Amino acid sequence: MEIYVLDSSAILSGKPIDLDGRIVIPESVEREVMKEDPKLFDFIQGKDVSMEHPSKESLLLVKEAAEKLGEGRRLSRVDKEVLAVALDNLERGDVCIITDDYSIQNVASFLGLKFKGLSEKGISERFVWRFRCKGCKKVFKRFFPSCPICGSELKPIVKRKTKVRS
């Protein structure tokens, strides 16, 4: 069975989403969309839809993957829950995340999850990010509000690129 996990960006785009399969929406996505425009949920009326909360185990896996890739700071709590709900559904069928968020796509690729953009083509390369100090040029694996050595601002840089299989 095809299972589609929808990110907020997919729903907030307002574009019609014609999916043949089960639709899963993380509860945090539902709350985010309801604040913006509850009418955006009209497109899923009459479809097989469930609202789910991610497991703690999957959230931990997502957090670890995001940190490895340098995406931890870029992903919101809601973004992490989208990825975790997708992981939770892997045993139930063929899972695909519908999102235009490149950071979600980057982490999804690393976790072996399928993804598809709605308005955008999607990523073709997975990035591993690092953070370089603008002052002393030291490179860090994780983000700091300022360089722990000299206090200057950190700038994200790409450490490595890997082709994403289509």
Q: What is the CATH number of the domain that holds 137?
A: 2.20.28
More confident site: 83 or 118: 83
pLDDT over 70 at 45, yes or no? no
Task: For residues 44 and 90, state if they share a domain.
Answer: yes
pLDDT at 111: 92
Mean per-residue pLDDT, 112-124: 79
Q: Note whether 128 and 110 are within 8 A (CB).
A: no
- Say what the pLDDT of residue 68 is: 86
Same domain, 107 and 40: yes
Which pTM value belongs to this model?
0.78
Together in a domain, 26 and 105: yes
Cα gap 130→128, rounded to integer Å = 7
CATH of the domain at 67: 3.40.50.1010
pLDDT of residue 123: 64
Please tell me the predicted confidence (pLDDT) of residue 12: 85
Residue 45 or 27, more confident: 27
**Closest Cα partner for 62 from 26, 17, 11?**
26
Average pLDDT, the chain: 87
Looking at the structure, tell me whether residues 58 and 37 fall in a common domain: yes
Same domain, 52 and 104: yes
The residue among 94 and 121 whose pLDDT is bigger is 94
Between these two residues, 117 and 17, which has the higher pLDDT value?
117
Domain identity same for 33 and 56? yes
Average pLDDT over residues 74-93: 95
Same domain, 92 and 148: no
Whether residue 92 sits in one domain with residue 10: yes
Q: Which of 79, 97, 116 represents a domain boundary (last residue)?
A: 116
- The rounded percent of the chain whose pLDDT value lies above 70 is 93
Tokens representing 143 are: 């983000």
**Domain range enclosing 150:** 125-163
Q: Rounded to whole angstroms, what are the CA distances from 94 to 28, 70, 115, 156?
A: 22, 27, 11, 34
Residues 88 and 135 in one domain: no
Q: What pLDDT score was predicted for residue 94?
A: 94
Are residues 158 and 102 part of one domain?
no
Look at the chain and report how many structural domains it folds into: 2
In terms of Cβ atoms closer than 10 Å to its own Cβ (0-12, 13-18, 19+), residue 103 is: buried
Instruction: Identify the pLDDT of residue 14.
Output: 77
Give the per-residue pLDDT at 128: 77
Q: Do residue 27 and residue 95 come from a single domain?
A: yes
CB hemisphere CA count around 35 (13 angstroms): 6
Residues 149 and 78 both lie in one domain: no
